[in-house]
């Protein structure tokens, strides 16, 4: 087959980082602080067959399916290092899926001092585009370089993408119109920035036709909690039909991927009926996992994202899911969740529905109680915290740092070695209904309270790495690289400590735990 469409992405999106838990954000680290030899040591790439990705990121597989369904069967999904091998005079478009192309994402902005340093995500994306442009010029080919994906907005926001040699940027969900977009590009009448403003119906979203990284499959799109800083909230809610979900899981099983990683913006909103108070439709959520686990060959399943309030609203839902997926001491359910802040006022102002069916004033208690419920049922929450929300005070930041200390001490006292969580601090990046706001500038706006939040987050992460892997909480094949990861995290923590002292901050400042009581305490 002579490919007319070549799909690829930068190497940070095809890295498995040796499957070390909590290392998925390593691509956001700054080039200037993490030497290339260290990065290369941890940078293991997805398998390929002479350049064709055997397993690919979910975003690439969805675009592949949309293009084949839209009249372009001559589409290939390739590794970035081998992309030029698949390009010839017949190639019309090289599509690049981007997550964080300029290092402007919340994690990268935190790690790179507000963009003053260079994230590996930016470095790898820039290198890929440079290779494609140089190859096109050297061969005098006419293919167009088109960038899409959840990070494409960064290119439009920066305004520098045309100077890089990129021809088009696509914004929006293209499942139903991918073929139409390519035809417009071929005919020369497509806009430079192609905005897809309508959302495809569930029936218009074709199933993947090739295996995905981590066995990821999609169960729903959109959210509806109306968090003002969040883009997924702007998308219409849709549930993927059961037959499509089954097809995608079976496609992954052909590659030996026996874990079904269920992607959504919030798994506990699955088939939600109570749109006023957001009580979870627990039976439907549990039934989803039952359907997935009943597929022959599936050995485990876990969600990507969720919210803590439904966990407290119905702890039995978590217990039932754990029973269905057979979670246990050596098989934990990982989930990403938003802690965001310990400030009830900020919760009420920017994300009131995140706390429902409870009130914003109960938010800190929900975090601690919900984490206990998750941990007792072998769930490991990886939280995010936002620094720099408009109107945030020093007291808000200090309360969030104190919440982390509270979780450490209270959970450890209550459930011992089963207590596990992480908190990743993120810089506020304008998005959603706050997109006209100003991004948090770590160099100009940092305070001791913000520093303490970051420092205690990393300090706890070091503790987790020191206990979770060697105690059997993760794949024991990772023990070989455990000392390397631990040493690297200690180095970062020591750097942060020295930096804080240099700035006049006190990393040893005593933080009193919040007055939160757990069940039975």
pLDDT number for residue 482: 59
CATH class for domain 211-502? alpha beta
Q: What is the pLDDT of residue 331?
A: 96
For the stretch 122-133, pLDDT in tens is 999 999 999 999
Report whether pLDDT(436) > 90. Answer: no
DSSP classification of residue 169: E
Domain positions in the chain are 5-195, 211-502
Give the closest residue to 444 by CA, choosing from 116, 225, 183. 116
| Number of helical (H) and strand (E) elements in the chain, helices listed first | 17, 17
Calpha distance 317→345 (Å, rounded): 29
* Helix, strand, or coil (residue 303): strand
Predicted confidence (pLDDT) at residue 366 exceeds the cutoff of 50: yes
Average pLDDT over residues 191-220: 98
pTM of the model: 0.94
Give the model's confidence band at 434: pLDDT under 50 very low, under 70 low, under 90 confident, else very high.
Answer: confident
Given a cut of 60, is residue 432 above it in pLDDT? yes
pLDDT of residue 472: 53
The predicted structure's pLDDT at residue 92 = 98
Helix (H, G, I), strand (E, B) or coil at 301: strand
Bridge-based pairing state of the strands 93-97 and 5-9: parallel
* Residue 41 scores a pLDDT above 70: yes
Residue with tokens 């929300």: 389
Q: Residue 499: how many CB atoms within 10 A of its CB? A: 14
Q: What is the pLDDT of residues 60-116, one digit of tens each?
A: 999 999 999 999 999 999 999 999 999 999 999 999 999 999 999 999 999 898 999
Q: How confident is the model at residue 409 (pLDDT cuts 50, 70, 90)?
A: very high
Taking residues 143-170, what's their average pLDDT?
Answer: 97
pLDDT bucket at 483, cuts 50 / 70 / 90: low
Of 52-66, 68-82, 464-478, the poorest mean pLDDT is in 464-478
Q: What integer best gives the mean pLDDT of the chain? A: 94
Measured CA to CA, the distance from residue 25 to residue 121 in angstroms comes to 10
DSSP string, 174-225: -TTTHHHHHHHHHHT---SEEE--SPPPGGGSPPPSS-BGGGEEE-EE---S
CA 79/CA 43 separation, integer angstroms: 14
- pLDDT at residue number 521: 47
Percent of the chain with pLDDT over 90: 83
Evaluate if residue 21 carries a pLDDT over 90: no
pLDDT band for 230, please (50, 70, 90 cuts). confident
**How far is residue 207 from each of residues 13, 142, 297, 312, 390, measured CA to CA in Å?**
21, 31, 19, 34, 40
Q: Can you point out the beta strands (E) in 298-412?
A: 300-303, 305-306, 333-340, 379-387
| Rounded (5°) CA angle 306-310-312 | 120
Give the pLDDT band of residue 33 (cuts 50, 70, 90): confident
Determine how β-strand 259-263 pairs with β-strand 193-195: unpaired
pLDDT of residue 473: 55
> Could you give the CA distance from residue 327 to residue 330 in angstroms, rounded to a whole number?
8
Greater pLDDT, 469 or 357: 357
Q: Nearest-CA neighbor of 82 among 161, 9, 133, 136?
A: 9
């Amino acid at each position: 087959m002579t490919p007319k469409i070549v799909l690829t992405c930068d190497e940070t999106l095809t890295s498995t980082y040796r499957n070390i838990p909590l290392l998925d954000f390593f691509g956001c680290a700054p080039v200037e602080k993490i030497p290339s030899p260290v990065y290369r040591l941890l940078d293991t790439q997805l398998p390929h067959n002479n350049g064709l990705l055997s397993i690919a990121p979910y975003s690439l597989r969805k675009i592949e399916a949309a293009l084949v369904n839209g009249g372009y069967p001559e589409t290939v999904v390739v590794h970035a290092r081998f992309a030029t091998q698949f390009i010839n005079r017949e190639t019309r478009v090289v599509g690049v899926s981007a997550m964080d192309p300029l290092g402007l994402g919340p994690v990268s902005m935190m790690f790179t001092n507000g963009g003053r340093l260079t994230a590996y995500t930016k470095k790898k994306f820039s290198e890929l585009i440079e290779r494609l442009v140089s190859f096109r010029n050297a061969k005098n080919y006419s293919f167009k370089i088109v960038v899409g994906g959840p990070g494409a907005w960064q290119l439009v926001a920066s305004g520098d993408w045309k100077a890089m040699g990129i021809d088009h940027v696509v914004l929006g969900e293209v499942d139903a119109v991918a073929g139409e977009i390519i035809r417009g590009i071929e005919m020369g009448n497509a806009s430079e920035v192609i905005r897809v403003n309508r959302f495809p119906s569930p029936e218009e979203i074709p199933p993947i036709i090739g295996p995905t990284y981590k066995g990821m499959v999609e169960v729903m799109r959109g959210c509806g909690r109306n968090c003002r800083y969040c883009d997924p909230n702007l998308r219409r809610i849709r549930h993927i039909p059961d037959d499509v979900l089954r097809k995608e899981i079976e496609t992954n099983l052909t590659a030996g991927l026996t874990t079904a990683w269920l992607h959504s913006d919030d798994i506990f909103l699955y088939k939600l009926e109570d749109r006023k108070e957001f009580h979870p439709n627990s039976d439907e959520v549990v039934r989803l996992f039952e359907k997935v686990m009943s597929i022959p060959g599936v050995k485990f399943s876990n969600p990507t994202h969720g919210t803590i309030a439904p966990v407290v609203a119905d702890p039995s839902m978590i217990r039932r899911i754990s029973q269905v997926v057979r979670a246990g001491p050596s098989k934990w359910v990982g989930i990403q969740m938003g802690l965001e802040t310990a400030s009830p006022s900020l919760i009420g102002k920017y994300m009131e529905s995140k706390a429902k069916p409870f009130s914003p004033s109960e938010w800190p208690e929900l975090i601690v109680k919900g984490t206990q419920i998750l941990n007792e049922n072998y769930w490991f929450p990886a939280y995010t915290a936002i620094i720099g929300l408009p109107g945030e005070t020093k007291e808000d930041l200090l309360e969030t740092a104190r919440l982390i200390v509270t979780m450490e001490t209270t959970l450890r006292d209550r459930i011992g070695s089963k207590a596990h969580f992480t908190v990743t601090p993120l810089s506020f990046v304008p998005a959603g209904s706050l997109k006209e706001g100003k991004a948090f500038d770590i160099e100009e706006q940092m305070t001791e309270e913000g520093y303490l939040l970051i420092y205690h987050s990393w300090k706890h992460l070091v503790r987790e790495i020191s206990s979770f892997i060697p105690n059997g909480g993760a794949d024991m094949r990772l023990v070989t690289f455990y000392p390397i990861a631990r040493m690297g995290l200690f180095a970062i923590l020591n750097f942060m400590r020295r930096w804080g002292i240099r700035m006049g901050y006190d990393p040893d400042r005593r933080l009193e735990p919040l007055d939160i009581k757990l069940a039975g305490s």
